[in-house]
Structure 1
Amino acid sequence: MSVHVNDHAATDPPHPRCHEATLLTPPVWEHNSRIAVFALLPEPRRVGEVRRAVRELLVCWHVDDETRDTAAVVLSELATNAVVHATASTSISVRITLAADLTIEVRDGSSTLPHSRVQRSDLHETETETESGRGLALASALATRWGVTVHDRGGKSVWARLALPTTRHA
């Protein structure tokens, strides 16, 4: 797994665990946003590694506990969908953007659009034994907005935006 980070908080004192977050590069501004991009191998166990690295990154960026927890769930669902439907040669990346909201974007090389087997309104009624089919419905329920962007050069990004608390320490 590799990561590229653009971070505008160069003057912020580092959080004690910031240096433990996996493969962070020096902070840089990009359009008044903090941006991190992770490369994700199409292997199920790699989703947990990226999720942990993103949680640590969000601690460094002073994102509140509730938003970090929600982001971890949404990231897991979107990344798992990409990994499950990927081929061995598929390139997958995870982009985290912190601006007015927190955007989680998972990009893969497939042009196949995702679809949910469970509707958002039926999420609470879905059998707990079902192992798949709830990811997009769950992301939709937790996010303020979500969608899919198809890229001209192939592939797509599935993204979700999470609202941030109105008072945030940055």
Structure 2
Amino acid sequence: MPETETFRIPKHRRHVPAARQRVGKVLADWGITGGLADDVTLSTNELVTNAVTHCRVSCAQIKVTLTLREPYLFLEVHDPDRDRLPEPHDSGPDAEGGRGRGLTLVRLLAHGWGHGQLPYTKCVWARFMLPERPERTGHVPAVL
């Protein structure tokens, strides 16, 4: 059974750090640290920032869901502006900001990403490969 954590934040830029911190805490609780935790947290920042910036529904809430389902960790960001889909743009990873930077970063950090329209919301998601664990591979590390 997959582990899932879902929370909502108001659609306002000042709540983006709270979403980032909540994701960091969930990842730590699940034992996910290091580079993978950094990649998921940065991707959360970018996708939530896009949602609060581009959603045209007033008084909306942004829903963030993390799902741990081997061999992947899924990040989903939902907002109620279902007809306004993200449009990736070719901006380099060194761009300071602006159009397309967030999706470019997510594309570089994740092992897949996309978006979909649901009945009342849209979802932008990213998928991250979990590191191999010895009990899954049958490999037992050598003891020094």
**Tell me, which stretches of 5 or more residues in structure 2 are unaligned?**
136-144
Shift of 1:168: 7.5
Check the 8 A contact 2:2/2:67 in 1, yes or no.
yes
| Residue aligning to 1:24 | none
TM-score (norm 1): 0.72
Q: Which has the higher strand share?
A: 2
Residues 168 and 102 of structure 1: CA distance in aligned 2, closer, same or farther (over 3 Å): farther
1:164 equivalent in alignment to 2:100: no
Aligned length: 132
Shift of 1:63: 0.9
Contact conserved, 1:63 with 1:168, CA < 8 A, in 2? no
Aligned with residue 138 of structure 1, among 105, 124, 127: 105
1:22 is aligned to none
Q: Over aligned residue pairs, what C-alpha RMSD do you find?
A: 1.8
Are the aligned partners of 1:64 and 1:168 in contact in 2 as well (CA < 8 Å)? no
How has the CA–CA distance of structure 1 residues 42 and 168 changed in structure 2, closer, same or farther, with 3 Å as cutoff?
farther
- Ranges of 4+ aligned residues in structure 1 off by more than 6 Å: none
Read off the aligned partner of 1:166 and give its amino acid letter. E
From 96, 115, 120, the equivalent of 1:154 is 120
User: Partners in 2 of 1:163 and 1:88 — Cα distance?
Assistant: 35
Give the Å deviation of 1:127: 3.7
> Counterpart of 1:144 in 2: which secondary structure?
coil
**C-alpha distance in structure 1 between counterparts of 2:18 and 2:106, whole Å:** 19
